[in-house]
Structure 1
Amino acid sequence: MRFLLDEHLPTGLATLISELGSDALHVKTEGLLSASDGDLWTLAAKLDATVVSKDSDFLAMAQRDGRRAGLVHLNLGNISNRELYMAVRASWPQVMEKLLSGEPVVELRP
């Protein structure tokens, strides 16, 4: 499964997701920092990628779109990168299970 990470997330998170066994791209390393949320959503669809973001604007896009696996929403508040990496690492097996079972939106909460 492929993931496209939003600009508000650290690039190291893409590395972590790759280490966990998935293909992960970050908008910064793809040269897309100035792209709008809508453009990123469209690109993710073209790449057959699931968006990973803390931005709640993507929730509305995911609900309208209906793609099988559209969004991993990191609803974790303001936490350090270390805490973010720990939360993602701990919950990633469940995230993948939900996405693979067809849930279009998976939300991580504290």
Structure 2
Amino acid sequence: MRFLVDAQLPPALARMLSAHGHVAEHVTDTGPADAPDQELWSYALEHHAALVTKDEDFSGMAAFGGEAPAIVWIRVGNTRRRALIEWFEPLIEKIAEMIDAGNNLIELR
């Protein structure tokens, strides 16, 4: 599975996904951190990557229909990097299964 981690999330999240055998990039690996949402959307589509984000805008973009990458929408408040990684790590395989099953919007609380 391939993931693109959005700018509001730490690069460590992409590294952790890679350590679990997935291909993962942080947006800063692909271009500027302040790239417009549409560029990230297009990049995720072109590279068949699920977009991991805290940005509500992407869920709205997915709701319009049409071609969309899988969106993993993290809806937790501000937290320390370590706490976020520890919370997210046990969910990785379930997220991958959900994406493989055709779920295009996965909301994590």
Moved over 3 A (4+): 65-69
* 1:67 Cα deviation after fit: 4.5
Tell me the residue number matched to 2:43.
43
TM-score by length of 2: 0.91
Contact 1:4 1:49 in 2 (8 A): yes
Contact 2:62 2:68 in 1 (8 A): no
Alignment of 1:24-35 (within 5 A): 24-35=24-35
Tell me the residue number matched to 1:17.
17
SS of corresponding position for 1:9: coil
Tell me the matched-pair count: 109
Identity %: 36
CA distance in 2, matches of 1:103, 1:30: 25
**Residue identity opposite 1:74 in structure 2:** I
* 1:64 Cα deviation after fit: 2.2
TM-score by length of 1: 0.90
CA distance in 2, matches of 1:29, 1:97: 25
Q: Per the alignment, do residues 22 and 67 of structure 1 end up closer, same or farther by CA in structure 2, a change over 3 Å counting?
A: farther
Tell me the residue number matched to 1:90.
90
* 1:63 Cα deviation after fit: 2.1
Unpaired stretches in structure 1, ≥5 consecutive residues: none
SS of corresponding position for 2:107: strand
CA distance in 1, matches of 2:72, 2:63: 12
Unpaired stretches in structure 2, ≥5 consecutive residues: none
